[in-house]
Structure 1
Amino acid sequence: MSPVHYSTPAGLFAAHHSQIRWTKTLVRGSSIVTGETQPAESTGFPSVVNLHKQSQAFQNHIKLLESVDWANTSIGDPSEWPIALRTICSFVLACPFPTALYWGEDLVILYNKPYTELTAQKHPSLLGKLYREGWPEIWQLMEETMENAFYNAKPSTKDDDLLFINRHGFLEECYFSWSLVPVLHPDGKVGGLLNPAFDSTKRVIAERHIQTLRNLGQMAATAQEADNFYQVALESLLSNPYDIPFACIYKIQQLSFVLSASIGLPSNHNLIPYLIDASSPLAEYYITAHKSISYVLFENVEEFCAGSDQCRRGWDIPVQRAVIYPIFANEGDRPSGMLMMGLNPRRPFDEVYQIFLELLSRQLATGMGRVQLFEEDVKRVNEITELSRQNGIELQRQLAQTTKELKQSEMKFTRMAEICPAGIYIADSSGALSYVNQAWSEISGNPKSQPLTEWMDSIHPDDLKLVKSSWEKCFRGEQQRLEYRWKTPYQGKERWTIASSAPEYDHHGQIIGVTGCIMNVSERKNSEKYQQKRAEEAIERKRQQEYFIDMTSHEMRNPLGAIIQTVDFVVESLHNLLQMVSSRKSFSSIDIARKVNENILDMKTIVLCTTHMRRITNDILTLSKVDSNLLLVTPVDFQLKECVEGVLKMFEAELQSKQIASELDFDKSYTELGICWVKADPSRFNQVLINLFTNAIKFTDKRPHRLIKLNISASTERPSLPDSTINQCTILVENPIYLIFSVTDTGSGLKEGERAILFQRFMQATPKTHVKYGGSGLGLFICRKLVELQGGEITVSSVEGQGSTFAFYIVAQRGSNPDDKSMNSLPVVSTSPKLVDAFQLNQSSYNFTLLNLSDLHVLIVEDNVINQRILRKQLNQIGWTTYVANHGQEALEQIAKSKFRSSALDDAFPLDICLVDVEMPVMDGITCVRKIREMEQKGELCGHVPAIAVSANARKEQIDKMIAAGMDDFVTKPYRIPELLEKMKVVLARISGQDKGVGMNMDKTGKV
């Protein structure tokens, strides 16, 4: 920027010179350069020509400047001032607006007459002082700016700068718009700083007051309830914590003041007790204000804060004063409430402040009066409505007066429309919207700032025709109610609206427009859509369950029917055989053998049917455990080869009868790893193999070429099965071994689309699968869950007409021979099908020598007479002695008469073991065995009474409960007698400490 030169005649600015001369001022950028074109000697303080024409106040200020002892300041006597200082000094004195000059490095203060209004009580002592001494309260804030301007010739300016200055005896909140301009010597050095300043405090404070009153007015205009009006009104004042640090309103009730609302103070503060009566320390202030029509100043706020936190809102310093105003909400000279407000500790309580608080209290009173009037109007309207229902003639008479009153309230209800949550709209006779409220704009997505002529463009294209048709019908005089959608924003949900429209008529009956409202029903629509989806899912689940029940019923009824028919045939056959023997007719041994063989085949049929029914029951039980997250894996050490061969042994008879060949192949990867014993859960692993073998037999039975292959391999790396649709479940074990199994059959195979649903619940390859092959649709779903539970995956590969291969793997560890510790712990709980060939169980299975037990005495505790009779008959057939008890109480009584009794008599009967049912009347089995163990601890019984639970309860929690009560083991119904005998052998061997050939004999003390 090029320098600009200003030359002015000395008639404007002059000093005490002997002759007239010229001064030269140069403005360079943002600095002032002074100089002279006609130097002359100076003889005194710079002044203004024609001083006698200036005001008296101005002349007094010049005299005051001349009286200052400038010689004792760093700038020296005025007669020695440089021409630059004298020139700028004259300029400052002649300025019509507040201007100060800070000269020299010490920044000695000099200012004109208008500037004294800014300094207030600091004047005149501020003249000639250093800036840091004259303005100590802001020196730290201004020091950097001053130094930057003086030493770097960098000007500064600020608008409405907040400064706390002490010009009335306290730190006062002030706002200034100022500039700081360096003044340069002719040689370019800074001689001082020019500081024009304008006090904008009144304007800033006034704007804040106006905004506060505006907030209160907006709130009061929308308030509708008198009960919470004061609290809502005071909360609108929270935006101005500086002028209203705290406030409270008391309602007047008889001779007391009751707190109605407060802000800025906690509820238990000493300044705002809930009740102020004559005994309260605050009573005198409120009573005085109540009697007065003006305010009462409350000077000692701090005294009442003893024991409570001081109010520090706003400037974070304690509030020292408050003011109490009466509130005249109703017409009359008696106030209806009292308003106390804390005063700004940084501002004087001057006339402006008083006017602000007076307006605020009046606005509160006006707002309360308006709300009360509104409530009265609403009440009046309700009364009129009720009266019109009761007496229509009276309504006509009052209609004119009511209409007049309603017109007076029209503005109030117009404001209500703006705060209504429903979108309200009014259309003129042409169909164009002439009015919409804010809620309509928000619901429709059409801001008020945009033209309303194209509002239908925002409607969803699929619903636009419906809306236009409804709009036309409304203009034909029909009321309309419909639901439609608005255009949905990108990636947004559908926005649904329910709209009601009605035509408006003039006094001639002509339609002049339409009024209506809309409501956002998106949440209801989305909820209905969600509920519909849930209902469809529930119907589908119900359909699947019914289908499952139908299949299960069919699968259970078929073998059950075969059992009933076969039993009838066996009974008839045995009856005929008995007649042949009793009649002593001639018959050959061949006939008897033929009859017996027929009965044996029939009994095998019964065994096969019951095994099939048991398998379905186990599937349902396993499914229940899967749904309840109760299916657990119990790893134990076992020989994999023997376990697999046991599974194949189970199907040996069925494979032979259906002429299906089977192969078992151990891959070289298995032998190379030297695996013999593994640690995994054999029961869960067996369930998968049994299910896969069952399916393979089912689908291979009618094929011309019938072959099932089982291949077993192993790996130390997790395998990747092709086409697996099952999520991989990771189980972290140390040194894992992945056992891989594949079951390949030459069955009918699967189509491409059938594999995707094969491992889902209640799903079979096709709806015809059950009709053709039977089954519940649970087997492969259970296989999937069991494989995932063991950390593996399962998949299928198949070609229609050529067969299928089901492959899966599980995570295991290397195991060890557990012979040394197997008899010292309870057997692993397992509810999987036993690996017993149903067709190999014959009478030899009941041979007494199999268990090496002699003359065993068994107590059967069973409430079902049929089960009791059958079990007793089977055990007696072996040669054992049996006793029976119908419930737990009878069992305790019989045990008390046995050899186990500590004080047993000579006639006490021997007893070796108890078979206890769980669910029985009088006393259940768990309570019974618990009392037996208590009697053992008390010494009423000698030794340990062996007890095995025999129950249909097979869940793990139920089994744990049996063991915890004192059962030595358990057998789940239904069971085979060899299974029961094996359990009895294990329990007696464990208790007696013998591993083989246990023989139980009781002495007179009841000990083994």
Structure 2
Amino acid sequence: MPVTHQNELRAILYVENELATDCFTSERINVLSILTSQMAISLQNSRSFKEQLKIQQVAEFQRGRAQEAEIYREKQEEFIDRICHEIRNPIQGIMGNCDMMNVHIREMRQLIGHGQPEMLEKIQGLDSFVDAVAICAKYQKVITDDVLTLSKLEFGKIVLVDSALSPAVLLDGVIRMFEAEMEKKGIKMTRDVTGVEGLVANGDGMRISQVLINLLSNAIKFTSAGGIKIIMDQTSHGVKVELKCTVEDTGCGMHESECKHLFNRFEQVAQRTQSEYGGSGLGLFICKNLVNLMGGTIRVESVKDVGSRFIFTASLGYPSEEQLAEYRTQLEASVATPRVEKKQRDQQLKVLVVEDNKINHKVLTSMLVKAGCTCMGAYNGVEGLAMYKEHEFDLNFYGCHNASNEWL
């Protein structure tokens, strides 16, 4: 008797009788038929149970793997954060010590005067070595920051913090960061913010600045003559406003084929770019992801040996009355005369320095003392807060973490 389920043969029931004739009557065959039907149902239930059990086991295995993966991701993120922090400390120490060495070199040059040309020549050579070390440290810091930002992007840890901002004021702050570098290279900078004059929008000013800093840094890096122009404009879309930023340069430019993969991870224009200009190939990839987070787009237009134009947009909102009032208060505070400027010229500023890295602590303290300040220092947050409560300071510098690894 075939044991079937939904016309599929599952087994065969074999019954044999040699002791009697005509024992397989129609009634008995019907009983056997009912029996095979029950057998088919039991076999199907058994198969279904095994399949369900297998599905549950696979699901439990996948959940376990997902938990392990999440734990690994958290540990990896924590490791990258810690490593980047540990790398930043010596880099900041190197850059700070280079600054202090340049100060001492200038003082030595003034003391020697023009009476000892050989000594001045040696000092000039020392100056170039210090500058080379500072440049290396600067590039290393850029790569470290890029790796940290990339890690946070991949782990979804970057959350936009919206607040009222003025694009024109924000741009001025970014440009001031590069004034000395542009003057050194002889590059002219122009800005056109007529399209956003008076605009106060709601968005993440830090992330917009980060994209502008990256684009402006690249423009300066690849431009040896001519200038850079930054244009800001806006388009209103009801309750939203689209901010459009354009960074133009007269640098080396690129071929159209080189522009296609420019925003990919670890992508650089040419092999020689790494050796000539340095970089990690992460900057524009990070810019693209940050712009996407802000609901915008980024693209490039470039002509070889003529220059490049990078255009990005960001979707911003309009601030509430409360946010607008807070922004105006901050703006008024920023243009007001700081309390420290009220000090008489013959009085020294009293500064509290709280920094857990001894090298950075020493560098910062040396710079402040060189600038005519008196300093008190602490190497941990608890000690620093105690000093803050006991004494009155004109300035406070905090560079320590608390037990929860958060900035004080």
- 1:115-130 equivalent positions in 2, closer than 5 A: none
- Is residue 245 of structure 2 the alignment partner of residue 774 of structure 1? no
2:288 maps to which of 775, 778, 784: 784
- 1:716-727 equivalent positions in 2, closer than 5 A: 716=236
Which residue of structure 2 lines up, in the alignment, with residue 926 of structure 1? 403
- Is residue 327 of structure 2 the alignment partner of residue 850 of structure 1? no
Partners of 2:388 and 2:152 in 1: CA distance: 42
Which residue of structure 2 lines up, in the alignment, with residue 748 of structure 1? 252
2:202 maps to which of 657, 676, 679: 679
- Is residue 362 of structure 2 the alignment partner of residue 880 of structure 1? no
How much has 1:761 moved relative to structure 2? 0.4
Deviations 1:926-959, CA, capped at 9 Å, x for gaps: 37xxxxxxxxxxxxxxxxxxxxxxxxxxxxxx5x
Is residue 638–residue 817 contact of structure 1 (8 Å, CA) maintained in 2?
no
Which residue of structure 2 lines up, in the alignment, with residue 737 of structure 1? 241
CA separation of 1:654/1:735 partners in 2, compared to 1, >3 Å: closer, same or farther? same
Match of 1:695, as an amino acid?
A: N
Structure number with greater Rg is 1
Match of 2:181, as an amino acid?
A: E
Deviations 1:349-372, CA, capped at 9 Å, x for gaps: xx99884169749x99xxxxxxxx
Is residue 740–residue 808 contact of structure 1 (8 Å, CA) maintained in 2?
yes
1:811 maps to which of 289, 293, 315: 315
1:715 maps to which of 217, 232, 235: 235
CA separation of 1:771/1:881 partners in 2, compared to 1, >3 Å: closer, same or farther? closer
How much has 1:767 moved relative to structure 2? 2.1
CA separation of 1:591/1:632 partners in 2, compared to 1, >3 Å: closer, same or farther? farther
Which residue of structure 2 lines up, in the alignment, with residue 626 of structure 1? 153
Instruction: Give the SS at the match of 1:648.
Output: helix
Partners of 1:763 and 1:865 in 2: CA distance: 37
Which residue of structure 2 lines up, in the alignment, with residue 794 of structure 1? 298
Partners of 2:106 and 2:312 in 1: CA distance: 49
Which residue of structure 2 lines up, in the alignment, with residue 692 of structure 1? 215
Which residue of structure 2 lines up, in the alignment, with residue 253 of structure 1? none
2:28 maps to which of 349, 356, 359: 356
- 1:244-643 equivalent positions in 2, closer than 5 A: 355-356=27-28, 360=32, 577=108, 610-643=137-170
Match of 2:262, as an amino acid?
A: L
CA separation of 1:652/1:222 partners in 2, compared to 1, >3 Å: closer, same or farther? farther
TM-score (normalizing by structure 1): 0.28
How much has 1:677 moved relative to structure 2? 2.0
Instruction: Give the SS at the match of 1:651.
Output: helix
Instruction: Give the SS at the match of 2:403.
Output: helix
How much has 1:794 moved relative to structure 2? 1.1
Deviations 1:517-565, CA, capped at 9 Å, x for gaps: xxxxxxxxxxxxxxxxxxxxxxxxxxxxxxxxxxxxxxx9xx99x9799
How much has 1:601 moved relative to structure 2? 8.7
Instruction: Give the SS at the match of 2:252.
Output: coil
Partners of 1:851 and 1:926 in 2: CA distance: 37
Match of 2:229, as an amino acid?
A: K
CA separation of 1:880/1:740 partners in 2, compared to 1, >3 Å: closer, same or farther? same
How much has 1:698 moved relative to structure 2? 2.2
Instruction: Give the SS at the match of 2:221.
Output: helix
- Is residue 386 of structure 2 the alignment partner of residue 866 of structure 1? no
CA separation of 1:862/1:357 partners in 2, compared to 1, >3 Å: closer, same or farther? same
CA separation of 1:563/1:591 partners in 2, compared to 1, >3 Å: closer, same or farther? farther
Partners of 2:275 and 2:388 in 1: CA distance: 59
Partners of 1:589 and 1:806 in 2: CA distance: 48
- 1:898-917 equivalent positions in 2, closer than 5 A: 910=391
CA separation of 1:354/1:608 partners in 2, compared to 1, >3 Å: closer, same or farther? closer
Instruction: Give the SS at the match of 2:247.
Output: strand
Which consecutive unaligned segments of at least 5 residues does structure 2 have?
Answer: 37-87
Partners of 1:566 and 1:914 in 2: CA distance: 23
Match of 1:627, as an amino acid?
A: E
Is residue 875–residue 882 contact of structure 1 (8 Å, CA) maintained in 2?
no
How much has 1:692 moved relative to structure 2? 1.5
Which residue of structure 2 lines up, in the alignment, with residue 666 of structure 1? 193
Partners of 1:612 and 1:644 in 2: CA distance: 23
How much has 1:759 moved relative to structure 2? 0.6
Match of 2:204, as an amino acid?
A: D
Match of 2:288, as an amino acid?
A: R
Instruction: Give the SS at the match of 1:926.
Output: coil
RMSD across aligned positions (CA):
5.2
How much has 1:771 moved relative to structure 2? 2.5
- 1:25-104 equivalent positions in 2, closer than 5 A: none
Match of 2:310, as an amino acid?
A: F
Is residue 96–residue 360 contact of structure 2 (8 Å, CA) maintained in 1?
no
CA separation of 1:663/1:817 partners in 2, compared to 1, >3 Å: closer, same or farther? farther
Partners of 1:875 and 1:564 in 2: CA distance: 12
Match of 1:798, as an amino acid?
A: S
How much has 1:214 moved relative to structure 2? 4.5
Which residue of structure 1 lines up, in the alignment, with residue 262 of structure 2? 758
Instruction: Give the SS at the match of 2:169.
Output: helix
Is residue 677–residue 817 contact of structure 1 (8 Å, CA) maintained in 2?
no
Instruction: Give the SS at the match of 2:170.
Output: helix
Partners of 1:767 and 1:784 in 2: CA distance: 22
Partners of 2:185 and 2:106 in 1: CA distance: 29
Match of 1:681, as an amino acid?
A: D
How much has 1:616 moved relative to structure 2? 2.9
Is residue 162–residue 202 contact of structure 2 (8 Å, CA) maintained in 1?
yes
Partners of 2:226 and 2:104 in 1: CA distance: 37
CA separation of 1:882/1:591 partners in 2, compared to 1, >3 Å: closer, same or farther? farther
Is residue 351–residue 373 contact of structure 2 (8 Å, CA) maintained in 1?
no
Instruction: Give the SS at the match of 1:818.
Output: helix
Is residue 762–residue 778 contact of structure 1 (8 Å, CA) maintained in 2?
yes
Match of 1:926, as an amino acid?
A: A
Which residue of structure 2 lines up, in the alignment, with residue 657 of structure 1? 184
How much has 1:783 moved relative to structure 2? 1.4
CA separation of 1:869/1:848 partners in 2, compared to 1, >3 Å: closer, same or farther? farther
Partners of 2:155 and 2:98 in 1: CA distance: 38
Is residue 662–residue 707 contact of structure 1 (8 Å, CA) maintained in 2?
yes
CA separation of 1:851/1:778 partners in 2, compared to 1, >3 Å: closer, same or farther? farther
How much has 1:757 moved relative to structure 2? 0.5
CA separation of 1:869/1:764 partners in 2, compared to 1, >3 Å: closer, same or farther? closer
Partners of 2:176 and 2:280 in 1: CA distance: 24
Match of 1:818, as an amino acid?
A: E
Aligned residue-pair number: 331
Is residue 798–residue 804 contact of structure 1 (8 Å, CA) maintained in 2?
yes
Higher RCO by CA contacts (8 Å cutoff, separation 6 or greater) = 2
Partners of 1:625 and 1:568 in 2: CA distance: 33
Is residue 666–residue 712 contact of structure 1 (8 Å, CA) maintained in 2?
yes
Instruction: Give the SS at the match of 1:748.
Output: coil
TM-score (normalizing by structure 2): 0.62
CA separation of 1:789/1:590 partners in 2, compared to 1, >3 Å: closer, same or farther? farther
Partners of 1:864 and 1:564 in 2: CA distance: 13
Instruction: Give the SS at the match of 1:621.
Output: helix
Partners of 1:851 and 1:867 in 2: CA distance: 28
How much has 1:654 moved relative to structure 2? 1.9
CA separation of 1:787/1:851 partners in 2, compared to 1, >3 Å: closer, same or farther? farther
CA separation of 1:220/1:914 partners in 2, compared to 1, >3 Å: closer, same or farther? same
Instruction: Give the SS at the match of 2:265.
Output: coil
CA separation of 1:771/1:812 partners in 2, compared to 1, >3 Å: closer, same or farther? same
Partners of 2:30 and 2:242 in 1: CA distance: 88
Partners of 1:568 and 1:360 in 2: CA distance: 101
How much has 1:713 moved relative to structure 2? 2.0
